[in-house]
Amino acid sequence: MRHGCTLRGDPDAVVERVATLSAAAAGTLSFLANPQYRSQLQATRATAVVLAAGDAEACPAACLISSNPYLTYARIAAELHPEPPLAPGVSSRAVVAATASIGAGSQVESGAVIGDGADIGERCYVGANAVIGRDCRVGADTRLMPLVVLYPGVRVGARCLLHAGAVIGADGFGIARGEGGRWTKVPQVGSVVVGDDVEIGANTTIDRGAIGDTIIGDGAKLDNQIQIGHNVVIGCHTAIAGLVGIAGSTKVGARCILGGDATVSGHLEIVDDVVVSGGATVTNSITRPGLYGGPLPASEMRSWRRNAVRFGQLDELARRLQRLEQIVGQKGKADT
């Protein structure tokens, strides 16, 4: 069977669209990947469900048994719900510079502005009111949704998807302090290079390099409202959730996952295969793969306040503990 899964149940069952387990009706395909939703399996009215072998017994519908149900679901869903085909051509309301090049089969929507020397590949989509600066290069089959901005000289690979409002290549935050605290702008003369198969979320910003380029590796997936500083390097197949900020010159390895609202300081290195919790603040380089935690979870206000006050006394509490240990005759754990 295609998609590397095993069918259990009616081989002639037909599904036309996807549905959640709880909202499924006849003719739908559903899936079970997050154990939190296992209790919804028994009552589902889906025609077929993608799931792991261990869940097949409890399933009332046809089963597509997979060792990776979510991935199998993703592939079948993409067949059931294909992207709408492009309507190739350049809108008469778009503004394309005479020296720009638009590849065969590409669609450029109303209000899009494409600058001198820009090179848009084949079968690309440039959404309404998007702005592509001079000398940008965009690979084949890449879609730039409405209001995407590529600053001059930015390069984006093939098969990428950039969502509305993403701004790629604005100046990095480079300022030098002088007399009286006055700031002088440091020219940002690098650019941004986005690899192939990258997705960039709505209103995400990726700054151009100060010197040299900011680099987003092949297959990286960035959610919405992310801020990537100048000269950051994001490794291949790394996934970054919404509202994350990565400060300048930091290198994030391959296959990392950064949870939503995490923050990474500048000039750090994070090795491959690191997972950082949502909201965590990474202030030092991470040299070993693994899971990294932070921040403190919210709790009821009364207990939160009590404990937060104690946090402000923590060093003093530790010193008092050590003094007590000495009095009581404990071998002092001389960590202060």
Site residues for its own copies, 140-169, by CB under 8 A, read 145-147, 149, 151, 161, 163-165, 167
What DSSP letter does each residue of 164-228 carry, written as one string?
A: TT-EEEEPP--EEE-GGG-EEEPP----EEE-SS-EE-TT-EEEPPSSS-EEE-TT-EE-TT-EE
Q: Which stretch binds its own copies (CB under 8 A): 15-23, 40-48, 53-61, 118-126?
A: 15-23
Report if residue 39 touches its own copies, rule: CB under 8 A. no
Site for its own copies in 45-84 (CB under 8 A): 68, 70-71, 73-75, 77-78, 80-81
Residue from 139, 194, 313, 334 in contact with its own copies (CB under 8 A): 313
List Cα–Cα distances, 243 to 60, 90, 207, in angstroms. Answer: 40, 34, 15
Closest distance to its own copies from the beta carbon of 58 (Å): 20
230 is catalytic: yes
Sign, CA dihedral 6-11-16-17, equals: negative
Q: What is the CA radius of gyration of the chain?
A: 26
CA 108 to chain centre: 26
User: Rounded distance, CA 239 to CA 219, Å?
Assistant: 9
Report if residue 100 touches its own copies, rule: CB under 8 A. no
Q: Which of 3, 81, 163, 230 is catalytic?
A: 230
User: Rounded distance, CA 48 to CA 25, Å?
Assistant: 10
Q: Is the peptide bond before 146 cis (omega within 30 degrees of 0)?
A: no
Report if residue 182 touches its own copies, rule: CB under 8 A. yes
Closest distance to its own copies from the beta carbon of 199 (Å): 7
- The residue assigned the tokens 């996807």 is 18
Residue from 59, 65, 247, 252 in contact with its own copies (CB under 8 A): 247
Closest distance to its own copies from the beta carbon of 251 (Å): 13
Residue from 57, 287, 303, 334 in contact with its own copies (CB under 8 A): 303
Residue from 23, 25, 26, 43 in contact with its own copies (CB under 8 A): 23
Report if residue 36 touches its own copies, rule: CB under 8 A. yes
The residues carrying an active-site annotation are 230
